[in-house]
A and B are shown apart, each in its own frame.
Chain A
Amino acid sequence: MAYAPAETVLAVEDVAVRFGAVTALDGVSFRVQRGEICGLIGPNGSGKTTLFNCISGFYRVQRGAIALDGQPLGGLKRHRIAGLGIGRTFQNLALFRSMTVRHNVLVGTHPAGRAGFLDSALALPRVRREEAAASLQVAEVLGLLELGAVADQPVASLPFGTAKRVEIARALVNRPKLLLLDEPACGLNHAEVEDLFALLRRIREHFALSILLVEHHMGLVMRICEHVVALASGRRIADGTPEQVQRDEEVVRAYLGTPVAHVRAA
């Protein structure tokens, strides 16, 4: 699928969040287009993860609004966000440690199911139908993320890079419109970052979704993202193509704290 900036999937409008006296986000606005890979960059403490937590409903915004496909997310209960089409991963892995890879990914199909305690206890036909549908979806995602070989291994036994892919699979299996990745390259070695790069492209093509990623690995951001938003101290300081953002004086200052001329000279 070609990158065609047409429709807005995610609209963040003037979002502000304060924790006591600390302003974590101060009037941040930007949009993510359908099919786009958008990078969210900024120094530590600039509000990237706070913004992620607002989008996935973990924090309430005190001002402003966030909408997915035109539907405002404010006031929704946290667990409803996934059903609307937002999948996310966590900065520090948050896998279900006592389950296998397959069961972890199956958890991601939860919003698609309806069977409750009673249906399950009585083994109603709906239960089998839903499980069959869920298994198919999981098999597809496991294949795409090359997790088939470890599908029935406990996640606790996996190498870190593989475990990160399991988290992505869990976020993907319900076919979200928007995938939020919190530092997907963090902790990966050079080869694994290259694999991740290819994987994200493959995911975007296959599922026709948008990806918003927080990342410190600038090489990855600049190569993979069509759109980059830079934050510093809770404010948006740049929004544009990777080239534009890279050249932005305020971005350079935020990262290096040195005059631009000096950096160019060096």
Chain B
Amino acid sequence: MAARTAAVVLGVLVLVAPAFLLSGYNLFQLTMVAAYAVAILGLAIVTGYTGQVSLGHGAFYAIGAYVTAILMTDFALPYWATLPIAGVICAGVGFAIGFPALRLTGPYLALVTFALAVAVPQMLRAKALEAWTGGVQGIVVTAPDAPAGLRLSQDQFLYLFTLAVALLLFGLARNMLRGRMWRAMVAIRDQPLAAEAAGIDVARVKTRAFAVSALFTGVAGSLGALAVQFVAPDSFSAELSIALFVGLVVGGAGSLPGAVIGAAFVQFVPNIAQQVDKSAPGVVYGMLLVAALYFMPAGVAGALRNGLRGPAPRRSAATKSTTKPQGGTIHVE
């Protein structure tokens, strides 16, 4: 028990320390890692655990960000109050998307959700909604100041606030992703028919998983909007959805630490690629991505769990049953 308490205290110290060691852009980057980690955690719930591939989670992130921006500017709500509202609205949208998703699997579902990722930025640009969304111009979000009495800079407070919300959501997710509902989700991913025969209401679990997933990613969008202090359609292009998916796969789909590692990849690797070769950062990014997947087929989290085993084993009859990665991979039916 004492060791556990010590580990928790040490962990919190390590997470809080950057607020006082880093500043400016470096600290902002860590704030974004925390926000992306929540977004990828949301994606993990529906894609990693339940096995429904979504290439459209950037849309939920965008909706969450805009809900926060609109509520703060047009309705003068305090920043913290916008988070639960963004979460509930995104859960509603996710639930609605979950129904057509029931009829689709694998690549078909991936394409339909990708259509959502393409459509949402254009809808945000639409003239009809301009009074609220600010059209192409977007909305400037006033960053929250630290509550009076806390001697923290705005950057420090934003980091600590984002960190606190992320820790809360990871805590809730950890509870959710074990026990009865975790089993139901993984059962649906592995063997939907057997899951139904075991009494699991597959449609209900899938639509709810979609809603919960969208809730997490939506709140992440809110956090991102506060950190960036600006929302505009171009910030939420389809590339964002792809980036979240890449983060999920690189980190290790279906693991909580994987979401954090994936978020770090999403935040830092494009910058690293930029530094390596300014003329073709996409090529460097692609190579780093391929290398990550080649050496760690179950994601970084999977590799840490199983030990680095080198490239994915070729599937021969002899190794088939013993070398299957345990979780962490995405199964496309």
* A positions within 8 Å CB-CB of B: 56, 58, 77-83, 87-88, 90, 94-99, 103, 106-108, 110-111, 113, 115-117, 120-123, 127, 130-131, 134, 154, 156-157, 170-171, 174
Contacts and interface: CB of A to CB of B under 8 A. Distances in A.
Contacts of A80: 199
A171 B326 CA distance: 23
A78 B204 CA distance: 12
Contacts, number: 112
A239 to B, nearest CB: 26
B172 interface: yes
Contact of B191 (A81, A94, A115): A94
B279 interface: no
Chain B interface helix/strand/loop/mixed:
helix
B180 A130 contact: yes
Contacts of B176: 117, 120-121
A98 B327 contact: yes
A115 B179 contact: yes
Contacts of A157: 321-322
Interface string B175-215: 11011111110110111011111111110000011001000
A256 B181 CA distance: 50
Given A117-B208, A122-B175, A77 B201 contact: yes
Contacts of A97: 190-191, 324
Interface string B303-333: 0000000000000000001101011000000
Given A82-B197, A82-B199, 12 more contacts: A58-B193, A97-B191, A103-B186, A107-B183, A110-B199, A120-B180, A121-B175, A122-B175, A127-B180, A131-B179, A171-B198, A174-B199
Interface in B236-251: none
Given A110-B180, A121-B173, A79 B200 contact: yes
A204 B175 CA distance: 37
B191 A78 contact: no
A120 B199 contact: no
A81 to B, nearest CB: 7
Contacts of A127: 175, 179-180
A79 B184 contact: no
Contacts of A130: 180
Nearest to B323: A156
Nearest to B327: A98
Given A99-B190, A110-B200, A116 B181 contact: yes
A90 B191 CA distance: 11
Given A78-B196, A107-B200, A115 B181 contact: yes
Contacts of B193: 58, 90, 94
A98 B326 contact: yes
7 A-B pairs with the lowest CB-CB distances in the bound complex, closest first: A82-B199, A111-B199, A94-B194, A96-B190, A121-B172, A121-B176, A79-B201
A110 B183 contact: yes
Nearest to A170: B198
A107 B197 contact: no
Interface string B155-189: 00000000000000000110110111111101101
Contacts of B321: 156-157
8 contacts: A90-B197, A106-B183, A110-B199, A117-B176, A117-B181, A123-B175, A134-B180, A174-B199
Contacts of A111: 198-199
B323 to A, nearest CB: 9
Which of A87, A99, A130 has the most chain B CB within a 10 Å cutoff? A99
Contacts of A83: 199
Nearest to B197: A88
Interface string B28-41: 00000000000000
A71 to B, nearest CB: 16
Given A95-B194, A96-B186, A96-B187, A120 B179 contact: yes
Contacts of A122: 172, 175
Contacts of B212: 117
Contacts of A90: 193-194, 197
